[in-house]
A and B are shown apart, each in its own frame.
Chain A
Amino acid sequence: MRPRLVVIGNGMAGARTVEEILARGGDFDITMFGDEPYGNYNRIMLSNVLAGVEDESGIFLNDLSWYADNGITLHTGTRIDRIDRFAKVVYAADGTETPYDKLIIATGSRAFVPPIPGIHRPGRGYHQGVFAFRTLDDTRAMIRYAREHQRAVVIGGGLLGLEAARGLQNHLPHVTLIHAAGHLMNAQLNADAGETLRATIEARLGIEVIVNGRTTEILGKNAVSGVKLADGRVIPCDVVVVAAGIRANAEMAAASGLVVERGIVVDDRMRAQDEDDIYAVGECAQHRGETYGLVAPLWDQAKVLADHLTGVNPLAEYHGSRVATKLKVAGVDVAAMGLTEPERDDDESLTFAEPKKGIYKNLIIRDGRLVGATMVGDVKKVAFLMQAFDRGLALPEERAELMFDLGGPAGEVKVEELADDEQVCNCNGVSKGAICSTVQSGCRTVSGVMDKTRAGKGCGTCKPLVQRIVEWAAGGEVEEDPAASYYVPGIPMPKPELMNAIRVHSLRSVSSVFATLGGEEDAKSKMGLASLLKMMWGADYVDERDARFINDRVHANIQRDGTFSVVPQMKGGVTTPAQLRRIAEVAEKHEVPMVKLTGGQRIDLLGIPKEKLPEVWADLDMPSGYAYGKSFRTVKTCVGSDFCRFGVGDSTALGIALEERYQGIEGPGKMKLAVTGCPRNCAEAYVKDLGVVAIDGGKWEIYVGGAAGAHIRKGDLLTTVGSADEVMVLTGRFLQYYRENANWLERTYAFVPRIGIERIREIVVDDADGLAAALDTAMDASVAAYRDPWKDRDEPATPGQFRTSLPLTVLPQVPVRA
Chain B
Amino acid sequence: MRAIGPAAEIPPGEGRTYTVDGEMVAVFRLRDGSVRALQAVCPHKGGPLADGQIDLKQVVCPLHLNAWDLRTGCSLSGQPDLAVYPVRIDDDTILLGD
Contact = CB atoms under 8 A, between A and B. Distances in A.
Interface string B59-91: 110111111000000001110000000000000
A473 to B, nearest CB: 17
Contacts of B59: 523
Given A521-B31, A549-B62, A799-B8, A561 B19 contact: no
Given A457-B65, A800-B10, A812-B19, A451 B77 contact: yes
Contacts of B5: 812, 814
Contacts of A808: 19, 22, 24
A322 interface: no
B14 A798 contact: yes
Interface in B17-44: 17-22, 24, 26, 31, 40-41
Contact of B13 (A453, A546, A813): A546
A484 B29 CA distance: 31
A800 B51 CA distance: 11
Given A523-B54, A545-B14, A800-B16, A560 B63 contact: yes
A452 interface: yes
A549 B54 CA distance: 10
Question: In this complex, which of A546, A549, A798, A816 has the most chain B Cβ atoms within 10 angstroms of its Cβ?
Answer: A546
B14 to A, nearest CB: 5
B13 A562 contact: no
A813 B67 CA distance: 28
Contacts of B51: 550, 553, 558, 562, 805
A454 interface: yes
A652 interface: no
Nearest to A545: B11
A806 B26 CA distance: 10
A542 B79 CA distance: 35
B53 A546 contact: yes
Nearest to B14: A546
A799 B31 contact: no
Interface in A417-458: 428, 451-454, 457
Given A451-B77, A454-B66, A550-B51, A814 B20 contact: yes
Nearest to A522: B55
A804 B67 CA distance: 21
Contacts of B20: 814, 816
A523 B69 CA distance: 12
A521 B64 contact: no
B3 to A, nearest CB: 7
A578 interface: no
B45 to A, nearest CB: 7
Interface residues of B, number: 49
A547 B14 CA distance: 9
Contact of A817 (B2, B47, B52, B54): B2
A561 B21 CA distance: 23
Given A454-B77, A805-B51, A523 B58 contact: yes
Given A523-B58, A805-B40, A808-B19, A452 B48 contact: no
A799 B24 contact: no
A544 interface: yes
B18 A812 contact: yes
Given A452-B77, A799-B8, A550 B18 contact: no
Interface in A772-801: 798-800
B9 to A, nearest CB: 5
A798 B31 CA distance: 15
Contacts of A814: 2, 4-5, 18-20
Contacts of A522: 55
A526 interface: yes
A611 to B, nearest CB: 12
B54 to A, nearest CB: 5
A811 interface: yes
A469 to B, nearest CB: 17
A800 B57 CA distance: 23
Interface string A355-396: 000000000000000000000000000000000000000000
A560 B55 contact: no
A668 B15 CA distance: 25
A46 interface: no
Contacts of B48: 562, 805-806
A816 to B, nearest CB: 6
Nearest to B13: A546
Contacts of A811: 17-19, 24
B3 A817 contact: yes
Given A523-B55, A523-B59, A816-B2, A799 B11 contact: yes
A453 B66 CA distance: 10
B17 A804 contact: yes
A806 B56 contact: no
Interface string A178-221: 00000000000000000000000000000000000000000000
Nearest to A563: B48
A526 B53 contact: yes
A520 interface: yes
A799 B54 contact: no
Contacts of A521: 31, 55-56
A26 B58 CA distance: 43
A800 B7 CA distance: 12
Contacts of B40: 805-806
B45 A560 contact: yes
Contacts of B76: 451
A549 B53 CA distance: 7
A803 interface: yes
A813 B19 CA distance: 6
Question: In this complex, which of A523, A560, A812 has the most chain B Cβ atoms within 10 angstroms of its Cβ?
Answer: A523
A795 B67 CA distance: 31
A455 B16 CA distance: 30
A550 B52 contact: yes
A551 B65 CA distance: 13
A42 B95 CA distance: 60
A654 interface: no
Given A811-B24, A812-B19, A814-B5, A546 B12 contact: yes
Contacts of B54: 523, 546
Contacts of A805: 15-17, 26, 40, 48-51
Interface in A490-533: 490, 511, 520-524, 526-527
Contacts of A806: 17, 24, 40-41, 46, 48
Nearest to A524: B60
A561 B56 contact: no
Contacts of A490: 55
Contacts of B2: 814, 816-817
Question: In this complex, which of B3, B40, B62 has the most chain A Cβ atoms within 10 angstroms of its Cβ?
Answer: B62
A355 B94 CA distance: 76
Contacts of B57: 520, 523
A746 B4 CA distance: 42
Contacts of B65: 454, 457, 524
B32 to A, nearest CB: 9
A546 B47 contact: no
Given A523-B53, A811-B24, A817-B3, A799 B10 contact: yes
A645 B25 CA distance: 61
Given A805-B16, A811-B18, A816-B21, A558 B63 contact: yes
A569 to B, nearest CB: 24
A551 B52 CA distance: 10
Interface of B: 2-5, 8-22, 24, 26, 31, 40-41, 45-60, 62-67, 76-78
17 contacts: A521-B31, A522-B55, A523-B57, A526-B55, A545-B11, A546-B11, A546-B12, A549-B62, A558-B51, A804-B17, A805-B15, A806-B40, A808-B24, A812-B5, A814-B20, A816-B21, A817-B2
- Give the 8 A-B residue pairs with the shortest CB-CB distance, closest first: A546-B13, A805-B48, A521-B55, A798-B11, A805-B50, A550-B51, A523-B55, A811-B19
Interface of A: 428, 451-454, 457, 490, 511, 520-524, 526-527, 544-547, 549-551, 553, 558, 560-562, 798-800, 803-806, 808, 811-814, 816-817
